[in-house]
Every structure is written in C-alpha cells, then in structure tokens.
Structure 1
C-alpha cells in the first residue's frame, strides 16, 4: 500500500475455462445467511434497480485492507473504502481528509531537535539505527551526503524531523451508521504495528509516533533524519475499531467478517461472495456522498473471468458492463480497437508510472568475487557506457509501441514516464538509428567481420572481452504474449546492427524467483525485459548501489543490473531528503534524469499502458495513472441516460 518496491510482471495466461452461470436476477437483493427468501414482487410494476457488473481477471486474495492485496482486491476495495487522499495525475487530492497538509499552511513542519545517545534515527544512508558513536548522520540544516557528519559520542547533535497534522472530514460514517474518527486511523496503525508485516515495515520503522489529537485530527511524527517526500501518504486508512477491537490482531486476517465482508465507509457494502464466480455488493445508504446521488447503481457485481477472450465475449453479450484492468487485455488491443470502431465497445487507456525495462546485466552475480573471463565469467559486454548507448540506438522501440501496443503508450527515455510533471525536457535520447549504432560499435572494436549486418559482430580489442567473441546476447523475459511480441520486434532491430539474440521465455514464477537461484533477482542475465516503477521515490531508489540484490542483503533489491555509481547515489539521496515543495527536490530529479540518460544502467522501453474496456455508453471511468486503483472513482461510473 505504501513504499514497498513493487515489481509488476503482468502475465497473459489464456486459460481454458467455462463461462460461469449467469447470476439470477432474484439474487440481486439476497443477503448471505438470510433465514428466509426475499419476498415475491408486488403486483405494482416498479423500475428494476440499476445494476453494474464489472468483470475481473482474478479473484481477490483478501479484502482485509492491511493484507498483501492483489490487483483484483484493490479494485473491489475501491467500492468499500475511499482513499484518505488520492494521487491524481501525480498531485494529491483530499477525499476523506479536509485538506492536503503542506509546509506553506503549517500542517506539515520540519522541526529541529536535540538527539541523545540511543535515540532511533534515520542515518545518512537512510537506515534506521540507534544513535551511537561512529554513526553517520545528517545534522540539522543538512540534506545531502556531502555535509553528513560522524557522531563522536561527545558533542551535542541536532537533527531535523518531520511532523504532519491530518484532519478528517466530518460526516463520514461506517456502513453500520457509526462515525469514522481519527481513532479508527490510529487503530489501523496499531494493527499494522502488531502484525509486524514486512510490507508496511518501511514506514512503520521510520515513524516516531502516530497520535489521535481529537475525533478528527491525527498527528504523525517521523524519526529524526526521516524527511519523507511522500508524507501525505502517512495517514493510515481508517479501520472500524468499534467492530474489530475485540479480535486478536493475529486472527483478523483469517476472519471472514474481516477478509470477505469487511465493514467499510465507501459507496457499496459486500452482500455475498461466491468463490470463483462473483462478489455481490449493494449501495451503502450511509455513504457520505449519497446526497450527490452517488453511487449511481443500487447493486454492483464483480464477476471473475480470468480469460481475456471469454471476458470480451461476455462484454459483447451484455454480461459485463466493464472489463477491469486486472484482465490480460494487452494482447487484444488490435481486436478492441476494431470493436470500438464498430461502436460495440469503448476502450479506455492511460500511461502508468510503471516502466517496461530492458535490463542490462552490467554486473552479474558471478562478478561479485572478482571478474575472471573467459573461464568462469561471462564477457563484460556492458561495462563500456558507449556500448550501452549503441544498444539503445539499435532498439526500434517506437515500432514495438506502434505495432504491439497500438500507440496506447509512449517510448520512455528516462526513469520517469513521459507524462510525469518532473520529466526532464532536455535529455540525451536514443531514437532508432542503426547506422549511428554501427559506427559506435565499430569504434569500440565490435567489427562486422564478414560485411553482413545480419550476422553477429566479433570483438577485436574490446576491453574485458576475449578477441573473436561473437556479439550474441541472451534475452530473457516472461511468457506474456505482449513480451513475446515486443521481443520479436527488438530482436529484428538488433540483428540489423549485427547483435544476435538467444531469446527465452520463462514462467513468471521462475523468472521472478528470489536470488540467488532466480534469473532476475539472482542477476543471471544479459538482457532481461521486466516492469518496475511506481512512486517517484522508488524510481530513483531502484538504481542505487545499495539496492543491488546480493548475498549480503539476502538478495533483496530492485537494482538487478548491478549498476553502481556514486554520483547517481548522491543525487538520489539528495532527492529523497527533500520535500516536493522545496526547490532542491525538483533540481535533484532533473539532474538525476540527465545522468541516467547518459549512463543508461537499463534501457527504458515504454510506460506500461493501463487498459480497460466497457460497453460503448459507459462514462466517468477515470484511469488515472497514479491513483491507488483504476476504479478509484467507482461511485461516479454510469451508463446510458446518466451519461452526457
């Protein structure tokens, strides 16, 4: 939910399955566990309750908000809970908060405090530890590694900490009528602490205190040294203390009343869950936006249809009103475009902050004990930055976006997606140019020995590469159909440069397995296509030296290529220690992107598209690239006469 490094391997599995039986109309008002059937309809004709059916590509793994939620769970939870603040187009908007706290308004403030021996701080490297002699830290007024000090254990030391005050909006109620208060947010925080879930550990470890000051006010305080640029996200989603307080925190995740029918304050209430088939919900009469006519439907059904072809058929037959992005629609864009042109469906697209990468094996794990080619280690193909630049020039990424993704996204050129407000405008870029690439490869000693660009080049005097080595690289990725299609395009463009590929498609579980056995996290690849990104802070941190997965850190880290660059680390830390309102924040990210474009620790291919498809008359779906869920504004979705 916050600050975890999320690696998104979007897998297309076309499963042979039978279409579930249509849900009987009489079940729309049925309550699980009811002792008697619903009454027979009266003789007086009444309008049928408006209903919306959303088809998912997977079954939610839980509806417990503090669980490790899969994408389908996030979609369903959008109906049960509104986010405290939603990140829309990279800017925070209050939902159940009165306002977004800011430095300018004083509800976010940086405090200077004296720190004593033994106090837990966030040190100069961003790690939590007790203050002790020899610890490196950022004293008050310092936000970069070049002014860090090492504490001698004698002199008094002052540091900075961040304190943020959040105000809940009034008149928000749980679906049972009880008010939502700051105590419910504190209850959620204490649950997360008690459960010691590693998923939430980053924020919990850096929180000094979390207090309810009154019924509407929460105060979050960070540990000294933790100046969190995402402080708006440090308000914990309220959970119903009055309903759950008597349960043990350890038991909560396994209770049906918590994981399958949780009490919420959102637009809908869970009515029944039919495993493998559907989840039925009804309108929440206590919803705080009910006076605005929201939600638009009396009933909501989430159907579970894991196969994209089956789901498209269900949409065309009227059994689904909307196909959620959890369905693997990437390989169906051509068909969906054709159906849209015929007026049969509406295709919704957005560019996500997740980048599809071509990872470069700069430093395989076998190099960790020293580099000894050719007997034990793979030739050092990628050590020379100009080789990486030539490789980028050989990749026809625009063709992949045009022919595989049907222009639903854009080619990426740095670690931020093209639509990010902090995306640098003046960068070194690498458009497809095989002639320029060929000249660069020749200058590096990669010779076209037979004057045939279709055959692999060979090395002559290339540092750390034995002479006469053929330029053939392994290309590993998952079996997702879209990745197979992209690999085919890129292999053809690389061949035109004299770079051969050995392409292998792996089961996702094998490709993403933990190190040291795993191919990606075990750093056992030449080229690897994968997806990673998300928050701005994660995008920066993913290429820091301390994020290289290895034996010392239990193979945990997203820097799978093994990139190590002190200048990059310093710029990233500078960005991470600044707040969005501060000038340093924007300057650091601009410089970071420029350095990234020159160094190319990995080659960005494109921003991954978010895809949904609906009946042609559906409206108000807002696939915002940075929202917590593609269905974040589910209550506003409408169709038919309710649409303009």
Structure 2
C-alpha cells in the first residue's frame, strides 16, 4: 500500500511523435508547436500568443472532465500588465476579472484594499505554505573575507529575542491573516513539532544580555555594540551588518524597516540593500546570497507537501563542488540535524519514524536558528464582483489550480 510522496512526478507531459516529430531535438525549445502551443490534458489549450500583450486559451474539447460540463468558461485571456495600478484600473473598468498574487505583491496595495472596502472588488484569501525568513550568514564561502558575526549560535538566538514577532504578524502584509512562524512548517501541518520547538519570544532584555555574554558591548556609548574578546572577531569591530532582500517588494520593505528598528534597540546597526530578484537569487560564486557572501538575507521559500528539512542539510551548502546549485545558503552544518533529517527522508511516510525524525530535525533547527522563520505569507487574489469558483488551496502553488471551475458570472 506504499505510495511515493512524489507520485505526481510520474505523470509525464505528452511527447507525441506525430506532432513533435516534425522538429529535431535541438529545435524543440524554439519551434512553435512545442514552445508556444504545448499539448496537454488540461481544461484549456493555447489559441493565440501575442508576445508582450496577451495569451488566449480556449476550451479543450478533449478535456477528461468535459462530460461534467467543465470547464465552465469558453476562453481565458491572460493580459500582461506592468503594475498593480493598471491591473486594478482594468478590473474596475470591467475589462478584467481576476488579478493574481504576483501582480498584487509588486505594487501599492492601498487602492486595492480601498476598492474592496467599497465593494467594487472582491478579495479571496487563504493561508499558504510560503514562509518568510531571515537567513544568517554563518559560514562564508571559501575566499570570502568578512567578520563571522553569526557563527556563535548565541548571537543568532539573541537576534531572535530582539525581534518583535507580533509586528510581523500585523505590519508587513496589510491583508489576510499572517501566521507567525517558529518552524519551517506551519502549525497546521501534521509534522509540526509543536511543544518540542525552542521558542524565542520578543524579550529585549534577554537579547541584550545574551549579546553581552558573547562579548558584544557598547562601551563607547554610540548605540552600536562593538566586539570585546568575541571569538573570531577583532576587538573593536562594530556590530554593523547588511541585510539583503529583493527590490520592488513592498512587504520586504516593511519587514526590513521593522528589523532595522528592532536590531537598533539591541545595539546592532543594520544597512539594507535591495537587489533585483535575478541578482538576489543568482547562483554562486558571484551571487551574494547563494555564493555565501552575506550577513543577513530576507526572502521566502514555498514549501511542497513534505517538511523541507533537506534545505539545510550540510550536503546542501552551496560550493564549487555542487556547482553552487543548492539551498543551504547560511552554510549551516550540524551532524545531529543531518542525522535526524536524513532519517526522516529515508523513512516511509505515515510511519512513527517518519514523524519522529521530522520533529527532531525541527527541534534542533529551532535551537540552532540557521534561519529565523518570521511568518507565513497569506495567499491573495482579487476578482470582479460576481466571479465564482475561485478557491485558494494552501497546498497548491498556483492560484489558478482549479481554473476549470471558475465562472465569470456574466
């Protein structure tokens, strides 16, 4: 009765010889029949693609649920717009039915919320498995020279104590219900470790005391702590670090502002540098985050079905030997964590070992804090009033996962 957790990977995209056989293998990525009009078994097929303007999909007459009357819509048009303001104008002018989350997150959401309050826009929200987190640069890449501010676990724990988690539950995202995160899985997840987790609730006094215990003190009275016999740090080095995050992301701007204020209250100076997404997520050795050349980094991971302990295995530290194409950008390495996570990954889902070792990995993670989980990002789409069938599923990557059930209400 065992079913592999990634069973869906066994469903391959059709590769029909009678259609694709007209092109050589090296032409398949550019030929229109494969690149612009792919075959599939979904509810719609591509009718037209006008580059930079729109893509038109029409009902697939061979859809396997056609006997149920699905899809409800005859056609779907995806319009490419530069920003949320233009998308909202189209929605209010009855020229658009739905705005997806990627457009919403890239702009000023205030007019959208005002339109929702006025009843001219309908908002649909749900929890999600996307978690925002603050990453500590624990172990820089070979050849990178910078102070090891966060190598001592006590410093990472102190930073966690200095951060007001309740502000992150109400300020970065002005919509939906933001769930505070203290693990890389949500409290609703069946593998969540619950009471086994170490908690780092906001406690300024404790955070400051822990920094002083390590040797970070403000003896010159300028508001920024400096190193005094801190292992691996030259005496007198100010505790001033740089936070990297993505540009054109209002929630990250608000989160960076909170972090700056919170860390200043603990005597840590914070400069914020905003990078385009393609630069922020660039592979090493040149990429700053995944080339392990950073102090702090703020971004999110989107989880799949399983608890993602494998992200932080020591084997996943980006380096030349693995072509820098791995996920453990903090450079975290703990043999106990590796053992627990690997045992969880090797166990059969549904067994006692599977749950036990996943929770043990979370327990170690919550103590060591290679990254500090902040909050789970709620899903959000905006629709024209009257649109029906839009249901957001926390476990689904796309908001349009059930597009066959959408009804425009026209």
The corresponding residue for 2:359 is 590
Unaligned runs of 5+ in 1: 1-101, 109-227, 370-375
The corresponding residue for 2:311 is 542
The corresponding residue for 1:444 is 214
Structure 1 residues 544, 627: CA separation in 2 closer, same or farther (over 3 Å shift)?
same
Tell whether the 8 Å contact from 2:130 to 2:302 is kept in structure 1 after alignment.
yes
Q: CA deviation at 1:291?
A: 2.8
Runs of 4+ off more than 6 Å: none
Q: Which moved more, 1:501-510 or 1:522-531?
A: 501-510
Higher relative contact order, structure no. (Cα contacts within 8 Å, ≥ 6 residues apart): 2
Distance, in Å, in 2 between the alignment partners of 1:265 and 1:591 is 41
Matches within 5 A, 1:377-388: 377-388=145-156
Q: Which moved more, 1:513-522 or 1:257-266?
A: 257-266
The corresponding residue for 1:71 is none
Tell whether the 8 Å contact from 2:314 to 2:334 is kept in structure 1 after alignment.
yes
SS across alignment from 1:352? coil
Distance, in Å, in 2 between the alignment partners of 1:591 and 1:415 is 13
TM-score by length of 2: 0.91
Tell whether the 8 Å contact from 1:240 to 1:264 is kept in structure 2 after alignment.
no
Residues matched between the structures, number: 407
Deviations 1:533-591 (A, max 9, x none): 43355821111111111122222211111101111111111111122122211111111
Deviations 1:9-34 (A, max 9, x none): xxxxxxxxxxxxxxxxxxxxxxxxxx
Tell whether the 8 Å contact from 2:84 to 2:106 is kept in structure 1 after alignment.
no
Matches within 5 A, 1:555-594: 555-594=324-363
SS across alignment from 1:272? strand
The corresponding residue for 2:182 is 413
Distance, in Å, in 2 between the alignment partners of 1:623 and 1:550 is 38
Distance, in Å, in 1 between the alignment partners of 2:107 and 2:199 is 28
Distance, in Å, in 2 between the alignment partners of 1:535 and 1:640 is 33
Of 84, 94, 97, which residue of structure 2 is paired with 1:318? 94
Indicate yes or no: 2:133 matched with 1:351: no
Unaligned runs of 5+ in 2: none
Structure 1 residues 440, 636: CA separation in 2 closer, same or farther (over 3 Å shift)?
same
Tell whether the 8 Å contact from 1:514 to 1:521 is kept in structure 2 after alignment.
yes
Distance, in Å, in 2 between the alignment partners of 1:362 and 1:273 is 46
Alpha carbon RMSD of aligned pairs, Å?
A: 2.3
Structure 1 residues 349, 241: CA separation in 2 closer, same or farther (over 3 Å shift)?
farther
TM-score by length of 1: 0.60
Q: Which moved more, 1:246-255 or 1:430-439?
A: 246-255
Tell whether the 8 Å contact from 1:359 to 1:603 is kept in structure 2 after alignment.
yes
Distance, in Å, in 1 between the alignment partners of 2:185 and 2:32 is 40
SS across alignment from 1:502? strand
User: Which protein shows a greater Rg?
Assistant: 1
Tell whether the 8 Å contact from 1:394 to 1:432 is kept in structure 2 after alignment.
yes
Tell whether the 8 Å contact from 2:292 to 2:330 is kept in structure 1 after alignment.
yes
Q: CA deviation at 1:242?
A: 4.6
The corresponding residue for 2:374 is 605
Q: Which moved more, 1:277-286 or 1:518-527?
A: 277-286
The corresponding residue for 1:308 is 84
Indicate yes or no: 2:74 matched with 1:298: yes
Of 241, 260, 281, which residue of structure 2 is paired with 1:512? 281
